[in-house]
Amino acid sequence: MGSMLKTPGRGIPATRQGTFIVNNVNPAELIIESGQGQIILEKICFEIVERTFTANPAIRLRVTSLHDNVPFPDSVDKLIRDATGSNLARGNYVSSILVHCNLVKYAMTGRQKVIVLPKDRK
């Protein structure tokens, strides 16, 4: 089995976190298990977040979607959906992996959980 990670959850410290398992890592994609299914996170899912932070290091990207699965305009999900053409919600997983790798950190903007660059990475 692979590495078990937690989804972002709500707030800081996080509540209502789920878990997922990173099962397959290769240069083109990560394959994770969440619940009963597998989800493919293509390389572009991570590259689009990197490009966005490179263009604007001060940006704050939301890690959630609306309840009816519509991404917020300023969210990781929206970036990924626009880049891939897929309507799958993958922002929580991508955010969690980036935080786990210490590339971004969680912060709060009011009641909204976001990812931001750590101060030493700008």
pLDDT at 112 > cutoff 60? yes
Mean pLDDT of 93-111: 95
The three-point CA angle 16-32-105 to 5° equals: 55
- Count the residues in the chain: 122
| Predicted local distance difference test score (pLDDT) of residue 69 | 75
77: pLDDT strictly greater than 90: yes
In the predicted structure, residue 23 carries a pLDDT above the cut 80: yes
Residue 88 confidence (pLDDT) = 87
Q: Which of 122, 87, 115 is nearest to 101 (CA)?
A: 115
Work out the pLDDT band at 41, boundaries 50, 70, 90: very high
Rounded Cα gap, residues 97 and 22, in angstroms: 9
Average pLDDT in the 66-85 region?
A: 87
